[in-house]
Chains A and B, each alone.
Chain A
């Protein structure tokens, strides 16, 4: 029976993957052909979605983007045997976009049935956990430390140190919490992993649990990810059934239970302490740190909080060794990062690549320039609170330290591209507006600064007392940076100030008042 792979990733679904799957099944039935239709994650080549694949003796052959009306012609061309077709891309791994990548965490995505334990283990899944179960907890922590793995949520805190803190803490209960509240605009890697290979996340969290002595884990997923939630729940149920989760995991005597919790739509709940509050059933408000969650986290107990991709990297570190992972990257940024190309870009999608790649390579070599065909003017890296970078900075290597030195941040690896029609003053205003809408309201600088920041930028846009208001904006941003309780308020000035700095022309407006007179 021929296996046909149709993605069920949200990105693919949004361009008709379900309809394509139905059409393929119907067409096969009509023609009396027996096929095994497998729903997978997405390979991350979003402009080719729905990208379907067929398993042939020569390997997999990919076709895309496929629409339901293309299905008849695909069958006519005998795509089930991998025959040529206008939409054919040959072996997917040979598509340059994929071939140039270093898929470590995302190696199985788009390849396997996301919830199938058999598929998962057949492709090297649970190898990391198997090794972890043979190791002492401290050895696991050491391996993570040596791999140089840093938190992928944005802050880049060394995962090993965090795990070590929780490992060393004494408590009757410890928790593992996965921050899957992926709220940054232009990011989707967490979702893709959860929809396309959730067991990697489950495996990573299980490893963390064994390393630190935690017995309960929570995955905090934003409510906007219904498919990820469903897939995770299914995957967890299957893992429990196969005894990869639950009591006495694979006869090891270790126990770990995992629960999926759904957020309620607040961006701030992606901040780790607000996420803890939300998990505890409270209003999602930021907690002051210290105490750090590694010592007093969920319900006051030591808690490992990592991003989806941090946990997702752990199995490979264990399976292939710390050195393997460490060999990727540059400087103190080791391993691979899942860059997400979005915005005005021709070939948007997921690029997993070692740290050190430049923006230019990502935007042009992978992304193929803008969708509109116009020149790239600015790129926002690291989500809505990341800096806007001008062309002059496109050759900076992707590395936490290099970016920080240039008043920018790698963040969660989201890259949003703008062409030369963008109005950077409006983008700066958007940053303040985003903060005003999403601020939890707890601390003064963020609560008041964001809303007043909008007004000041409005005055600048209207050409009112430009110099005075730019100075005021600078003071306002400084108070937000200096005084904010969490990164939300502290980083909001980053896009604003980078826009002012790199695109000063956009803030030099003629006064509207005069024009009206």
Chain B
């Protein structure tokens, strides 16, 4: 490991460390605009200049590795200085240049208060201008409904261009013009097409790219920042929710190398306006076919009356995609106490959790494990739509290491090149039987990764598909010491948590499909929907429906009693992501009106039903919860599952239907009640749809 002396203190760093990183390690802050550790090095802002002993000119520390420096004549480590007058003068010169053109519109700029240029100008700027000619003027560009441009402010760092090209995998953004006329734009000012485009807002070191929906809404210092977890997909992206008063103003990503690096999808970032509309802010009771506002007591009384009048085996409980573990555990416990066995947390009808233990339903190698994989097979999944941040990881593996990728399912643009193997189970069978070219790639790989999507296993023959995928994983050596390459990619944030607490049909109980079939046929009289909106409401037949949730979506429209719950930004709860990592979400704002935290609603209801849940606080609830699922107590950690269970799963491999696999995500922007209440998401969806129509025409 090379040694280097920074401002007189000697440190040892890893090979390939840039001078900038080495300086940071040594505690010397280096200003930068274009450098970003997750993007390629551009070296164009020239703000990070440092002095290297023995070189006449200052060096851009971002573009030089410690290995590029030679030791002194007697083998002494190379020396770097960050505080010399030469360095200061050079940085001040660059800063002066940047400020020649940058407008002085900080008071009306949304970046104000969290602007790199503003901050650095405090350190390296001077308080007057020596250049009095006109500033450069650039027309603003339309680049989509999410990102607002103010191109006079652009300092041409090209972070946005590099992000969309390298991480996003779309060549939407680029530069036109040369020299001072260089401008950042999309081709013909079309909207960007990446699901990750919002990240350019965070990356932009100035106010050139800002959030359109958040435009002129708040100043950063007015906001209360809450570090929490996203539920728009099953990745469990780490986010920060910024609220003012009761209102969520914006959502930003947090860095977590194991989960979302520092990206979030546009859905996660811009869904917040959906938290404000279509909200269920008081209980409702349906009377004479119409919903009327009611008090909590009225609503609970109505439910209690109905439950007491119904035999437990004629009651079904379904749980949706956005629930935290705490409320699912509460509802499951209550159901058990009431003798109800028809409980299912899998509203999509998948067979997960029935065999194979925990290893049979999680993304075993972990999201970061994608970076170890050296051959990847996608079965019935479109990760770009289902987990766009995770898809960026796959793209990274492909881009950096040319990992071969095979796809069985939809022939979609995944932002990387792949071998298209086939559309459905027939191709899967081929691979299981060891036929085809791609099986060799999997077998020759040290760490083959088999990703099976929610769409492939929520079909009626899902059980067989899951089993065949496990069998293939076994056959190609994906399950061995130190590597479990069998990975289920979920689309629902609640699912793994639900499976972890076994919110599944009891012995002889009905599954989602059976509950719905029973309701249709009149065998089920009462259905409790805990945020379950993605089922076919028509098949609920004449059953009495309780909907506990946040939005006036499909479930609420069908319900006979509505109990207003708290959205993910309004409660503390555990969410377990697709890889089985338990993470805690925190309350950033209060639920609207009379809406309450869901566990508390269920606790109150249980009392009325005479089956009081044995906890009075969230802490007590969690203590009970950790007894049945101890790994949930290991917050933020990846708890590996025992791979032995996969044998049992693989043994169940049977015949599959021949229909092609389809991703369950038909529209990336509209996948849950919150997104469907969001104006921004509707706009994005319409735009994507329109583009598709135009392309098809």
- Chain A positions near chain B (C-beta within 8 angstroms): 266, 268, 283, 287-290, 436-445, 447-452, 455-456, 472, 475-476, 478-479, 481-485, 490
What 6 pairs across the A-B complex have the smallest Cβ distances? A479-B93, A288-B43, A441-B182, A288-B63, A439-B179, A483-B46
Q: Which of B24-73 contact A (CB under 8 A)?
A: 41-47, 49, 57-58, 60, 62-65, 68
The stretch that binds A, out of B95-103, B302-310, B439-447, B541-549, is B95-103
Residue of B nearest to A435 (CB): B179
- Contact (Cβ within 8 A) A478 B93: yes
- Contact (Cβ within 8 A) A288 B42: yes
Supply 10 A–B pairs (Cβ within 8 Å), ascending by A. Answer: A288-B62, A288-B63, A289-B63, A436-B180, A443-B43, A444-B45, A444-B155, A445-B93, A449-B97, A472-B131
- Cβ proximity bits B80-91 to A, threshold 8 Å, 1 near / 0 not: 000000100110
Tell whether A288 pairs with B130 under 8 Å between CB atoms, given A452-B97, A481-B57: no
Interface check B177, CB cutoff 8 A: yes
Interface check B683, CB cutoff 8 A: no
- Contact (Cβ within 8 A) A448 B175: no
Residue of B nearest to A442 (CB): B44
- Contact (Cβ within 8 A) B93 A483: yes
Q: A456 — which chain B residues lie within 8 A by C-beta?
A: 131
CA–CA, A448 and B182, complex, Å: 11
Tell whether A444 pairs with B98 under 8 Å between CB atoms, given A450-B179, A452-B133, A483-B46: yes
Residue of B nearest to A471 (CB): B130
Interface check B659, CB cutoff 8 A: no
- Contact (Cβ within 8 A) A482 B44: no
Q: B86 — which chain A residues lie within 8 A by C-beta?
A: 482
Q: Which of B167-212 contact A (CB under 8 A)?
A: 174-175, 177-182
Tell whether A455 pairs with B133 under 8 Å between CB atoms, given A438-B179, A441-B182, A482-B57: yes
Interface check B653, CB cutoff 8 A: no
CA–CA, A283 and B96, complex, Å: 28
Q: B43 — which chain A residues lie within 8 A by C-beta?
A: 287-288, 443, 485
Known pairs A290-B63, A441-B178, A483-B46; list 19 more (Cβ under 8 Å): A438-B178, A439-B178, A441-B179, A442-B44, A443-B46, A444-B94, A447-B156, A448-B98, A451-B179, A452-B97, A456-B131, A479-B93, A479-B96, A479-B97, A482-B49, A482-B58, A482-B86, A482-B93, A485-B46
- Contact (Cβ within 8 A) A445 B46: yes
B165 CB to closest chain A CB (Å) equals 11
Q: A266 — which chain B residues lie within 8 A by C-beta?
A: 178
CA–CA, A266 and B44, complex, Å: 19
Compute the total of residue contacts between A and B using a CB distance below 8 Å. 110
Tell whether A440 pairs with B93 under 8 Å between CB atoms, given A288-B63, A448-B98, A452-B100: no
Q: B41 — which chain A residues lie within 8 A by C-beta?
A: 288
Tell whether A475 pairs with B93 under 8 Å between CB atoms, given A290-B64, A442-B44, A443-B43: yes
> Which residue, of A288, A439, A472, A476, has the highest number of chain B Cβ atoms within 10 A?
A288
A295 CB to closest chain B CB (Å) equals 11
- Contact (Cβ within 8 A) A288 B93: no
Residue of A nearest to B158 (CB): A442
B29 CB to closest chain A CB (Å) equals 19
- Cβ proximity bits B400-421 to A, threshold 8 Å, 1 near / 0 not: 0000000000000000000000
CA–CA, A445 and B156, complex, Å: 12
B358 CB to closest chain A CB (Å) equals 42
- Contact (Cβ within 8 A) B93 A439: no
> Which residue, of B60, B97, B133, B158, has the highest number of chain A Cβ atoms within 10 A?
B97
Residue of B nearest to A478 (CB): B93
Residue of A nearest to B67 (CB): A290
A467 CB to closest chain B CB (Å) equals 13
A487 CB to closest chain B CB (Å) equals 11
- Contact (Cβ within 8 A) A290 B49: no
> Which residue, of B47, B155, B178, has the highest number of chain A Cβ atoms within 10 A?
B178
CA–CA, A97 and B96, complex, Å: 51
Q: A475 — which chain B residues lie within 8 A by C-beta?
A: 93
- Contact (Cβ within 8 A) A455 B131: yes
CA–CA, A447 and B101, complex, Å: 11
- Contact (Cβ within 8 A) A483 B179: no
Q: A268 — which chain B residues lie within 8 A by C-beta?
A: 178
Tell whether A444 pairs with B44 under 8 Å between CB atoms, given A283-B175, A290-B65, A483-B94: yes
A461 CB to closest chain B CB (Å) equals 14
Contact of B179 among A290, A447, A479 (CB under 8 A): A447
Residue of B nearest to A469 (CB): B130
Q: B47 — which chain A residues lie within 8 A by C-beta?
A: 444
CA–CA, A58 and B390, complex, Å: 81
Q: B155 — which chain A residues lie within 8 A by C-beta?
A: 444
Q: B181 — which chain A residues lie within 8 A by C-beta?
A: 441
A223 CB to closest chain B CB (Å) equals 16
CA–CA, A482 and B62, complex, Å: 15
Tell whether A441 pairs with B180 under 8 Å between CB atoms, given A448-B98, A479-B96, A483-B94: yes
Q: A476 — which chain B residues lie within 8 A by C-beta?
A: 93
- Contact (Cβ within 8 A) A445 B94: yes
Q: A447 — which chain B residues lie within 8 A by C-beta?
A: 156, 179-180, 182
- Contact (Cβ within 8 A) A485 B93: no
- Cβ proximity bits B528-562 to A, threshold 8 Å, 1 near / 0 not: 00000000000000000000000000000000000
Tell whether A452 pairs with B64 under 8 Å between CB atoms, given A441-B175, A482-B49: no
A435 CB to closest chain B CB (Å) equals 8
A493 CB to closest chain B CB (Å) equals 12
Q: B101 — which chain A residues lie within 8 A by C-beta?
A: 448
Q: A445 — which chain B residues lie within 8 A by C-beta?
A: 46, 93-94, 97
- Contact (Cβ within 8 A) B156 A441: yes
CA–CA, A476 and B100, complex, Å: 12
- Contact (Cβ within 8 A) B131 A482: no
Residue of B nearest to A438 (CB): B179
CA–CA, A478 and B178, complex, Å: 23
CA–CA, A371 and B175, complex, Å: 44
Residue of A nearest to B63 (CB): A288
Residue of A nearest to B181 (CB): A441
A172 CB to closest chain B CB (Å) equals 12
CA–CA, A55 and B407, complex, Å: 71
- Contact (Cβ within 8 A) A485 B175: no
Residue of B nearest to A290 (CB): B68
> Which residue, of A439, A472, A482, A484, has the highest number of chain B Cβ atoms within 10 A?
A482
B633 CB to closest chain A CB (Å) equals 47
Q: A452 — which chain B residues lie within 8 A by C-beta?
A: 97, 100, 131, 133
CA–CA, A239 and B64, complex, Å: 42
- Contact (Cβ within 8 A) B179 A440: yes
Q: B98 — which chain A residues lie within 8 A by C-beta?
A: 444, 448
Q: A478 — which chain B residues lie within 8 A by C-beta?
A: 89, 93
- Contact (Cβ within 8 A) B177 A479: no
CA–CA, A450 and B100, complex, Å: 12
Tell whether A479 pairs with B90 under 8 Å between CB atoms, given A441-B178, A441-B180, A447-B182: yes
- Contact (Cβ within 8 A) A479 B156: no
CA–CA, A120 and B564, complex, Å: 91
A157 CB to closest chain B CB (Å) equals 16
CA–CA, A287 and B182, complex, Å: 16
Q: A436 — which chain B residues lie within 8 A by C-beta?
A: 179-180
CA–CA, A266 and B181, complex, Å: 14
Q: B178 — which chain A residues lie within 8 A by C-beta?
A: 266, 268, 438-441
Q: A455 — which chain B residues lie within 8 A by C-beta?
A: 131, 133
Q: A472 — which chain B residues lie within 8 A by C-beta?
A: 130-131
- Contact (Cβ within 8 A) A483 B58: yes
Q: A438 — which chain B residues lie within 8 A by C-beta?
A: 178-179
Q: A440 — which chain B residues lie within 8 A by C-beta?
A: 178-179, 182
Q: Which of B341-400 contact A (CB under 8 A)?
A: none
Q: B49 — which chain A residues lie within 8 A by C-beta?
A: 482-483
Residue of B nearest to A482 (CB): B90
- Contact (Cβ within 8 A) A485 B44: yes
Residue of A nearest to B68 (CB): A290
CA–CA, A503 and B45, complex, Å: 33
- Contact (Cβ within 8 A) B63 A448: no
Q: A288 — which chain B residues lie within 8 A by C-beta?
A: 41-44, 60, 62-63
